[in-house]
Each structure stands twice: as structure tokens, then as C-alpha cells.
Structure 1
Amino acid sequence: MKLKKLILKIFIIGIVGVIGFAFYILQTQTFSKDEVFLEILAPEKVEAGDQINFIVKIENKGTTRLDDAFLTFLYPENSIVEGNEFLRETINLDSLYPGEEKSFKFAARIFGKENDFKEAKAILRYKPKNLNSEFESSTSHLLQIERVPINLSINMPSVIEPPAKIKLNIDYLSNIDLPLEDVTIFLEYPSGFEFLSSEPSSIEINQWDIPKLEDSEGDRIIVEGNISGDIGEEKEFKAKIGIWRNGQFVVLKEAVKKIVLEKVDLIISQTVNGQENYIAEPGELLHYVIKFKNIGEKDLSNLFMVVNLDTQTLDLSTLKVINGKYNSKDNFILYDNSSSPLFSLLKSGEEGDVEFFVNVKDISDLKPANDVTISNSVFISKTREELHTKIRSKPIFTANFAYEDEVFGNTGPNPPQVQKDTTYTLTWNIKNKINSLKDVRITATLPEIVSVNTDKVFPEEEKQNFVLDEKERKISFTIEEISPNEEKSIAFQVKVLPQKEEDLSNLTILKDIRLSAFDEWIQDNIEYKFEDLTIPIQNNNSGGQNNNNN
């Protein structure tokens, strides 16, 4: 009986041991990849040429140590990575302990066409402790190129009478903030075009190589050739600009120009405020003169002209038409023989013009966009022309002061008193509606009774961009770049110490306030001056602002 009990005990102990051993083996031989967290942090939308930081985060959320861990990062296609032409980087992590987190940064400049999607990928390979099998976890991040800061255009007449010798211009300009190397421009010709020459000369008849293209640098390629075809036929010219990466041509921008082959009797041109290439300003009054000339051999009779107006950029409530009829429903001006006898009969070689006045929309009414242009189309007989006028940016700027605020906290009597210190918080805000701006700079002069505390600047990261010139008594705030519909603000503290009663009659905090910048669309500097910022003592108020552009 005792022997049976002993055997039973041994059996039970054996069963428990087997179960325990099996449980141990099961614990050490099972692993789930869900215990490994892997992600890539990066923007979803970028501009071509932007320097993008990809942050790869890894976390071992399990209870098992991960050995022989290697992280491989695959950069997006056609990226430029300093010191890495293979677009692939591998890091030996050794081991990842339970609960351990690690982060790694990978930097690259992204290139491609507008609306292209680019993918970055991270792959983590590892062996869980006590397992011989290698596991792999991976993740990816998709980003979109929403803008390519390169201007590329083909300029030539819209209507050409065949056969003809023609000249076309390819204009290009880079606004990418680094030099582009190994740049090439290709031009695709339509059937019926015979290449004659180009300036500068081409590698092939349709290829121009540019060894290096700097930021804000551009040029013009002039191509001459013969065009032939049937009347009514449409021809398309297509230009591409890009860079070479590992033997592959990466397209950055494309431009298309379509022309129609027609019998040409008339040419159309315009001046705006007396200039052929006028740059307009938001809110400005424009004087348009549309010129037309009979270049054919025959006299032309019973003509009329239609001018379709750009409703996106022009304030048509201000339109004043001279000797024409305005159709407010369809937004066009009609000129006929009641406007000028030249529309009844325009002899060979004879020319004439029509005119109208209209305001550009105020900056607050323009839609946020890059490269804003007034585009009016003009028709006379079979001739049609698109006439364009660029619009410069006009940033909306406000300067305001406050005594009661939560940024710094101010002290002293309010309103100020003679021989007593009072501090105020000043805020500058700039909103850019149209065109990309670079090297933006706001400056102001401090009156003798005003001083600024350069330690009191918000946000903190803008301190380096806020400068006081004590000798000139000037303050300045610089912004590297502002895109359309983007805002920037800075707050800082000033101290006011009136010396005499006369100082209180017109207490000016800032004077000679100016904003300057480089407008990338018009390729020129812009500057605006604003009214002085004053404290109206009689109102005993705690704040105020100034936002008038001069």
C-alpha cells in the first residue's frame, strides 16, 4: 500500500514537472512581433528641395530581450543624402531590452514633381532571446511634394500662320534654397517643327545642360525653327527641367505651350500703366491699353474685339470702360465700330488701341496662392491672345500694444506718467496672402523715451531673430521665408519713461515701421511703410494697434 502511494506521488511529481518544463519551453519559444513598436515621424507634405528629418522610434514593449538587432532605413527615391548615394543606411543596435526605447534621425532633401508621393521605409531585424529564428518588423511613411519652387515657362505667340519661322523662349528660375547640380532642360517638339538654332547652343537639338543652378538664379533659352502644318491644327511644345540622380533623370517641373496654326492678320499687345511688363500691386488702379495692328496684306472690315476679364484678381466694381460696352453677366468688354471707326475698316499696316481702367482686388480679397497673375484674354477676328500681368505680394501687418497681458506681465502707471517707468507688451503679426517671400525683415525706430528688453521675447525660439541696434536705436525681426496664407508673430516688452509733460501729448512707442522682403514671383524686393505706433493717453486704454500699409 505504501509502495502504491509512493509510486502515485512520483507519478504526480513527474506530471507536474513535465507540465512545468513544457510551460517553460512554451514561454521561451513563443514571440509576437506586436511586442515591437516601430514608427517614422515626418511631415506629410513638403516642397521639392526641402531638408526633411525622419525620426524613427523603436520600443520593445514585450518581456523578451531582442538580440542582434539591426535597423535599416530606406530613403525616399531620388533623395539627396549627404555622404550617402545609395539611399540606404543600416545601424547595429546590439540588443533591445524589455521596455527600452530608442530614436534615430535620418535627414534628406526630397526631389520630384508636384503631387508626387515619396515613401520612406524602416526595417528592424532581430532575434528574441532563446530563439534561433530571425524576425523582421517594418513600417513606412508617405509624403507628398505639394510644390516645386522652380519657375519654368514657354513664351511664344498663341497663333501662328504656317509655314513660318518662329522663335520661342524657355524661361527658368530656381527658388530652391540650395545649388542644384547636373541640371538639364529638355524640350519636346511637335510634328512639323524643324530646329534651326538656339542660344545658348544645345547638346542635342532638344537638350541643354546646366552644371550648377544656384538659388534665385535663372536664365532664358531662345530657340528658332520652322513650323509647318495645316490651318486649324494645334501644336504642343513641352519643356522639362530636372536633375540627374545615379544615371536617372528626375523631372522637377514641366511647362506646356499650345499654339494654333491659323491665317494671321492681326497682332495684339498691351501696356499697363504705360509699361509692357508692369508689376501690379493689390488695390492699385490699372490703366489698360490694348493695341491691335493689321499685319496682313488685305484691309479688314466689320471687326470687333472681346476682352475677357480676370474675375479672380480684378475688382470689376471699379471698372471704367472708354468707348466700349461691358457685359456684367459674363464679365467681358465689347469693342465694335461704335467704339472706333478702325473696327469698321482697318487697312493693311494700320493700328489702333482701346483702353479701360480697373482696380486690382485688395489683398484681403485675393485668394492665397503662389505666382498670382492677372490673366485677361483678348479676341479680335481669328486672333486670340492671353495677356498676363504679375501681382506683387502685400503682406498684412499689424503692430499692437497691451498693458494687461499674460505673456510678460507689465508694471508702472497706465497711462504713463512723467518720470515713472511703465512697461508694455508689443506684438508684431505678419500674414502673407500671395506669393512666397524670402528674407522678410520688419524694422522700427525707438523714440528716446522708449527702451526694449531683449530678454523678454516670445516665443523663445524667435529671440535669435530679434535684434536691437542700440547705437541706431533700431529693432528688427527677421523671417527666413513665409509661404502664401502663412502667419508669423512675435511679442516683446518695451519700457516707456516720459521725461516731460509734452511727451504725454503724443506718446509714440515705435516710429518709422517698415517691412521689406524678396518676392520670389516677381524676383524683386518689396517694401512697405506703416504708421507710427502711439498710445492715446486721453483714452486711458490698456491696448491698441496699427495695421495701415502706406
Structure 2
Amino acid sequence: MKEDLKKNLINDIYKDKKGETPDMSRLDYKKKSNLTIFLIGIIAVLAVLAGFSWLGFFIFNRSLKFSEQKVAIEIKGPEEVISGEETVYFINYINNGNVELQDIEASFHYPEGFIFKEAEPHPSKELTSYGDPEDKIGNMWHLENLKGGKRGKITIRGVFIGEIGSVARLNASLTFRPLNFSSEFEETSFFDSKIISSPFSFMVNGPSEVRVGEEVELEIKYQNNIEEALQGAKIKIILPSDFTIAETIPELSLDKAGAIYELPLLKPQEEKSIILKGKFSHGEEGKREFKVQIAFAGKEGQFFLQEEKIHSCHLIGGELIASLTINGLKDVGYANFGEKLHYSIVYKNKGEKPFHSLQIKAIFKEFGGNILDRSSFESDDKGYFKDDEIIWDENNASQLKMLSPGEEGVINFQINVKSPTFQAAMEGAKDLKIENLAEVKIEEGKNVFSIQSNPVVIQINTDLDLKIEGRYFDENSFSLGEGPLPFEVGKATTLRIFLYLSNSLHDISQVKVSVLLAPKVSWTGKSEVASGEISFDSVANKMVWEIPQILTNFEKPLEANFEISVKPQEKDVGKVLVLVPEVLLEGKDEKTGGKILREIEKTITSDLEDDPIGKGKGRVVRSTF
């Protein structure tokens, strides 16, 4: 029974859709699809290829690994150069790795004084040197890709201009991007060249001994010693302070220290010369030096010294000497507008024989206009003006007929600087000065001998000026004061004192205005000031206006005013009262360093000259009630 049940259960499991039981005694094989076999084969081949690809990638990538240390740049060139001579530098760059380099850019940074001439290959960019748009220098190159194991070179030609002994540093850099890299890399290199010698040679010929007043001639020979033309050089001659140039061949530019000559183009091995003539017009006996320098001039005013020579000579004191002082000064001083200048010319015979028929000149060189008021000239000896000179001779100064051995003489005279109103006609002139010199001349037959004194320079201080007014009424006829006008005995009258400061030449500091009040005048305590501070000195009975600094760029005068009170007495009847007897103006010129101290030549009286309405009512009257 159980066996039948088990058999029926198995039959139910294996019956097909038709209800029939299959023959389980044998197995039938069903053949696979051709497409399936093809797909399986393709997958197998791709798997093998992928494996080989990954293996190749790791092997190849390992061989193309980039190392920054494989890229190098260096500068090759002379370690020692001659200033002014052409020099060649090479920028060598190499790729010792296996990775190709892209976006390669080389730059070359020139030191001060290097003048670029040309490069191979030609620069991709040109910048300007020294800020001069016309002076182009090549310093950047865009280069082709550089494969592994390859190298490149840039050749640069130029000239170094610099002081002998100076060291110039050149700097080159290479920026690049390796193939398949997004990052940029940079390599740099430095190279130093020392300037060891000059392309010039020169010599100075002149006397080893010279007398005061005797003509001196110096010859300066200079030569280009290299096989290239030279330009842009200067010769500077620094002279003794008591030497005066009379003539130069060719013409030189003169300054306070001496003379400067800009050399023309000097061909290879070419030699030229400069002749300088002059004399020692005064000075003590002793050694004198002429310093001669040759240098290249930089674009920004640099002075690259190449050679220097000093020519020494011994000055023998002259038999005739002269000296000049102005207001006690022997070199440099300052003066104010309107100031009187006191000149003193001292001359002496130090020789053993007399001099006859002397002529003495005071020579002026004015900068900024005719600063001296020639009409104010005063002298005990009757000199006369001729152009910019005052001349004395034996015809107007008897002591000049003869000067005995050991004898000393003096010419004294005075002359005024013009008043500040002179400046109004000199618009634009800021630096006013007078260069002064005295000359003593002797004619003995056909021989003419002359010496000069020490020069004295007088700088003119700024035109600081003060205008002062006393007013009862303002410009619109409104009353500023109170009380009776005319002034009455026993009654107080108030009015205003106005101060106006002007300045146009130089900035000025420590400005102070002191207004002295008469004994019967008092300050009411009222004041107004646009700049600075105003105060009352009760001990001295004066008003003081102080300003730390006044610049030249203000358009209108600075203004201050204060109120005063006057109460006349019986004894003042019929009189015009002096209200402000004295006004002092002080300051320090910030350019000349000179001190300004002036007394304003104006007094304020009860007549109120500056008040159109109150004017003429200054006499004190008795009170009518």
C-alpha cells in the first residue's frame, strides 16, 4: 500500500503538461545556441585584452613618471667683464626625463646697467628698461615643446655699464607643463659677472706750481681702448673752490662743483682731449687738487664711475690779495626785501714793491631780476655803475693811485635790496639771489694783472608782508565801532584793527606779528583770527598773532582783527592820537633758512587813513554834554 502511494506521488511530480509520465530510463541531450557560444568567446577575449592593457599601462606609466629634477636651466657667460664692451650670455635648458614638456616660457632678468642688444632666437616679448619707452629690452621667450632627452639654447648679447669692481647678478627662469599634467613647474638659475676694468684710459697734464692770478692750463686726454664704439659717457672735473674757469675747449657745462662734458661717440681706439683754462683769483698758499672722473651715465641719472685721476699743484700766494664781506658774511647769507647791504672790499700788497693805478670792481650777478636798488648806492669813495659793476679807480678814489708794500686798503659801500613790491613785477621768479665778487686790477705797462676775491652769495628771503588798517566803518559803510567820532574827551570810542598777511616765494614758519598799543589804548577782549592764535600781552600792552606755518599755495591773505578802545583826555584836545605806534613782523624762511625781522613802516592814528568814511575825523574834541 505504501509502495503504491509513493509511486503515485512520484508520478504526479514528473508528469508533463499532457499528464503523461516521461521515460526516466534514458536522457536526451539538447544542443546549445551558436549565438550564446559566440558571446561567451567575445567576453573571454576582451577579458584577456583588458588584462594585457592594464599590465601595459602600469609598465609604460612607470617608464614615463615625471621628475622635476630631470629639467634644468643654467646661464653661461664670462665671470669677469669690461664695462662698455659687448658680452655674450647663453641660457641652456635641457629635459633629461622621458616626459615631453609643453607651454615652455623662458625669461631673463637683466641687472641694472645692462644694455640689451640682440638675442637668438628673437624674444617673444620686449619690455622697457629704466622706464624709457624707446629703450626696448628682450627678456621673454615662448619656446617649442621639448621632448625627453632634448635641449635648447638662447644666446643674448649686451653691454654692461657699471662701476669698476661692482658685481652684477643675472637671473633666468624656465616655466613649463609636463605632458598630461595640469600643473606648471619652474626652474631658475643665477649667474654673477664682475666688472673688472674700464674701456677708457685718460691722463691729466698741468703745472705742478702756479701763482695766484696766473693763468693755468689743464689738458685732459682720453681714449677708447676697445674695438667697439662707445657713447653715453661723461667727464666730470671737480675744481678747487678758489679756481675760476676762463675758457674750455670744447665748451663744457659748468655747475657749482666744476665742469661736465658729455662725450660724443668715441670710435674704437680713438683719442681726444679737453683743454681747460683759468686761474686762482684768490686763496691761501698751499696744495690744490683737480679731480677728473670719467663715467657712464645711466638712464635714471646714475653716474657709473669708470676712472678717476687727481692732478695736484702747489699754489704760491700772490703779492696782491683781496677779500669781500657783505653784512659780515664771507660766503653765503640771506637778506630781506628792503634790507640795506653793507659791502666791504679789503685789498693788500704782500709784496716788496708798490702797485700803481689800481682799479677795483664790485661785480653783481642777480638771479630773478634786478634785485638791487641802484639808486640807494652810498659810498665814501665815488664809484660809478657800469652795467652790473661798480668801479673805483684813481680818478674817483685817490688811495688807488699807489699801494705800498705791506699797505692795506678798504672800499666800503651800501646798497639796498628792493622793497617787496618789486616782486609783483617778477611773477614766476621764486629763487632770488645775488652772486657777488670783488676784483682788483693793475696795469703795469703792457702787463695786466688781476685777482678776484672770495665769492659771496646772498639769497633773498620770501616776500612775507603785512598790511594793517584801523577802521570804524567796514567796506559797506556799516559801523564796526562804537562811541563818538571824532573822538571826544572822557568818552570811549571803539574801533577795529585789521591785519592781512601775504606770502608767495617760499614756505615760512614761526610767523609772529606784534602790534604795540599806545598807553591810552586798551584791548576790549574781542578778536577774530582765520589761522593761528591771537593773544594779548598785558605787560607790554601789545597784541600778538602767531602762526606755525604759512605755505605759498594760499590765494588770499590771512586775516585777523581785534577791537581796541580809546578814551582821550583833556590834554589831547586838537591832537591826532597815535593808536598803534609800532608793528613787528617775524618769521623763518624754510628754503633759505634766513630769519625775517621787519618793522612795518606804518602807524595807526585816530585819523583812520584807511577808512573812507571815518578818515579825517581824528582830532580830539571836547564833549558837548
Q: TM-score, normalization: structure 1?
A: 0.42
Greater Rg by CA: 2
Q: TM-score, normalization: structure 2?
A: 0.38
